[in-house]
Amino acid sequence: MILPQYDQRCGWYELLNNVSDFPELTNDIDVDVLVVGAGFVGCAAARRIAENRPDDSVLLIDALKVGQGASGRNSGFVIDQPHKRDLESNDELLKEKIVRLNRVAIEYLETQIERFAIDCQWSRAGKYQAAVGARGNKLLDHYESLLRKNKESFHRLSRDELREVFGTEYYTAAIHTPGGALMQPASLMRGLADTMPENVKIAERTAVQSITRKGPGFEIITAKARVSCRQLILGTNVFTAELGYMADRILPIMTFASMTAPLSDAQLRCFGGQMDWGITPADHGGTTVRMTQDRRLIIRNSYRYAHDYNTPQDLIPGIAERHRDAFIARYPHLSDVSFEFTWGGTSGLSGNFETYFGELEKNVFASCCDQSVGAARGTISGMMLADMASGLKTELLDDMKIVSGKPSRLPPKPLLRVGVPMRLAMARMASRSEV
């Protein structure tokens, strides 16, 4: 069984101060609900089920420390707009539902952040989708037409306006959508864990090794303890297959990010003074760039088929070089800025772009394959799994079921190991102007 590993390279996590400790589970325990995986899905599910059922006991466990998984190592965009295939869909109602669900997730996160004063660089900065050259502009025109069709508000910016914000002439045009948020993901995940309701117990560094149905409930084995529970919620994303569910349906794809050292006052001079912005590329295969509130730039690009889910360390120097190239192409005048961290993380895609949400078997609930936009989608999925497990019937839950589906069965792994890298290489070639 493959378990998550932490590689000590994720800048977001490594920069945290005073990380709290939730001890590993060492004694057998009987709880009403076990939530496995403390990412966006698991944290939202644990909180919501505890709110729904204050008299029930909830155990949230993770193989790693909270914040070390993909939810703590992403680029920190909490996106309200539909993504990729969903955005292209002709089903207007479906898109409306996705936007509404994502916005409920953003509100839910924001409410916790404000209520508990979680210090995670949260900002309603929205998102820039930026183009490089003629091909990028064309893709941006298409994106603009979709936003118009969806009656979403946006603002298109010229090269001159962009230079003012991003400190570079690299981008030819961009569209700003105001609905999303930016954050420091590891701080957010730690903050969410530290402020769970009283009926939620957390155990970190506690990996589930097996799940067995026992009578009306389940027996779960970890390295040092046995957990009995009535209901099980899996927020384990790509690792769900290792626990015996959704095998051959989750495509684990890794992407990578690098973070610079903090910029000095002199290095910051080329920027217009806005300290939290984020750019996603007009072509999805391109490079994401972010400025953080603590003066660092983040570069994210490159994809890899991650058959073993974790980051092979020998890849990191090559990836850091690619990130450096993307950085220097945008900021030749900042060539003295060094990278402090480079890391990878794995998210779940599916062959037919469907995201799974639902009851896998009686009293086992899960959400996975969020197509790599899990900050909002994972949060709303976790909330709705909790409502489903609590027997609630709401319009939001109905919408969640409508926007989700069943990921298609994938070809056997040996074929994926040949075919997926080829597809990724072709996508990289096609979008090279945006990398």
Ligand X SMILES: Cc1cc2nc3c(=O)[nH]c(=O)nc-3n(C[C@H](O)[C@H](O)[C@H](O)COP(=O)(O)OP(=O)(O)OC[C@H]3O[C@@H](n4cnc5c(N)ncnc54)[C@H](O)[C@@H]3O)c2cc1C
Query: Which chain residues interact with ligand X by CB under 6 A?
Result: 3-4, 36-42, 61-64, 69-71, 73-77, 79, 207-208, 235-237, 239, 255, 257, 300, 345, 347, 370, 372-375, 378
- Closest by alpha carbon to 64, among 34, 29, 26, 37? 37
- For 386, the 3-state DSSP assignment is helix
- CB of 336: closest distance to ligand X in angstroms? 25
Q: Are 335 and 385 a contacting pair, CB within 8 Å?
A: no
Backbone dihedral region for residue 388 (phi beyond 0: left; psi -120 to 50: alpha; all else: beta): alpha
- CB of 216: closest distance to ligand X in angstroms? 23
- CB of 395: closest distance to ligand X in angstroms? 23
- Closer by beta carbon to ligand X, 345 or else 407: 345
- Closest by alpha carbon to 15, among 73, 69, 71, 64? 73
Q: How far apart are CA 322 and CA 301, in angstroms?
A: 8
CB-based contacts of 317, cutoff 8 Å, min separation 6: none
- Closer by beta carbon to ligand X, 139 or else 253: 253
Q: How far apart are CA 219 and CA 73, in angstroms?
A: 31
Q: Are 34 and 229 a contacting pair, CB within 8 Å?
A: yes
Q: Are 54 and 199 a contacting pair, CB within 8 Å?
A: yes
- CB of 264: closest distance to ligand X in angstroms? 26
Angle (deg, nearest 10), helices 185-194 and 40-52: 20
- Closer by beta carbon to ligand X, 267 or else 288: 288
Characterize the bridge pairing of strands 127-131 and 77-78.
unpaired
Q: How far apart are CA 361 and CA 317, in angstroms?
A: 43
- Closer by beta carbon to ligand X, 243 or else 267: 243
- CB of 382: closest distance to ligand X in angstroms? 7
Q: Are 280 and 223 a contacting pair, CB within 8 Å?
A: no
Q: Are 379 and 38 a contacting pair, CB within 8 Å?
A: no
Q: Are 326 and 433 a contacting pair, CB within 8 Å?
A: no
Q: How far apart are CA 43 and CA 26, in angstroms?
A: 21
- Tokens 């993909």 correspond to 70
- CB of 160: closest distance to ligand X in angstroms? 27
- CB of 333: closest distance to ligand X in angstroms? 26
- Closer by beta carbon to ligand X, 43 or else 139: 43
Q: Are 182 and 77 a contacting pair, CB within 8 Å?
A: yes
- CB of 21: closest distance to ligand X in angstroms? 16
- CB of 269: closest distance to ligand X in angstroms? 27
- CB of 182: closest distance to ligand X in angstroms? 9
